[in-house]
Amino acid sequence: MAPLPRTPLLTARLLLRPYEPTDAGDFFALLATEAQRLQSSFPDRLRTITTLAGALQAITGFSHDWDTGRFYVFGIWDRSTQDYLGDICLMPHPPHSGEIGYYLSTTAEGHGYAREALEAITAFGLETLGARQLLIRCFADNLRGQGVARAIGFKEEPKPKPPFWVRTLDLAPDDNIVRFVLKR
């Protein structure tokens, strides 16, 4: 199967596009500035991107992932100011589902950008990739993120009851995560 074209997604105020090597500086700067806040949600990304060279290497990896259909990563820019605001991605889970993750800079929060970007990536997942189900995981205390998911039409998924042997061993699943699903 041929790779998907790297077509940007446009919203009223945002440009979502696959990263280019020239984005490494902005990408790294946001991660470095917001590292403490993003650590619990994006530990792998922060662990692997500790330098500008690491950011460039990650962007190269994102390009390869795009070509193989493993992972679709978009940077988020304000269309009017050209400011880099954050990142949103979709990881397909064959045959017909995927998981969405995103973050914004602190200064970009509270302006409706997350909702706008999530609407665009949801359409990309359902229409372009043909997903029938999309998943977003949020920390239980991330009420804003949960509100964004709900606003787009994602529904909270009930927590599965762990098997008896897990409950007996006191190995309950992480109650700190809330799962939201959107089904086509």
How would you label 51-73 residue by residue, b for 16+ Cβ within 10 Å and e otherwise? eeebbbebbeebbebbeeeeebb
Nearest C-alpha neighbor of 14 from the set 81, 103, 90, 105: 81
The pLDDT score that the predictor gives to residue 176 is 87
DSSP label at residue 132: S
How far is the first Cα of the chain from the last one, in angstroms, to the nearest whole number?
24
The pLDDT score that the predictor gives to residue 1 is 67
Torsion 146-136-16-21 (CA) sign: positive
DSSP label at residue 172: -
Residue 31 near residue 87, CB atoms below 8 Å: no
- Looking at 3.40.630.30, 3.90.1300.10, 3.50.50.60, 3.10.129.10, the CATH number of the domain 9-132 comes to 3.40.630.30
Listing DSSP states for 27-95 in one string gives: HHHHHHHTHHHHTTT-HHHHHH--SHHHHHHHHHHHHHHHHHTS-EEEEEEETTT--EEEEEEEEEETT
Residue 123, both tokens: 């359409």
Distance set, CA 69 to CA 3, 50, 92, 100, 154 (Å) = 7, 26, 8, 14, 24
pLDDT in tens, the chain (184 residues): 688 999 999 999 999 999 999 999 999 999 999 999 999 889 999 999 999 999 999 999 999 999 999 999 999 999 999 999 999 999 999 889 999 999 999 999 999 999 999 999 999 999 999 999 999 999 988 999 999 999 999 999 987 766 665 555 554 456 789 999 999 8
The pLDDT score that the predictor gives to residue 3 is 86
DSSP label at residue 104: E
- Provide Rg for the chain, Cα atoms: 17
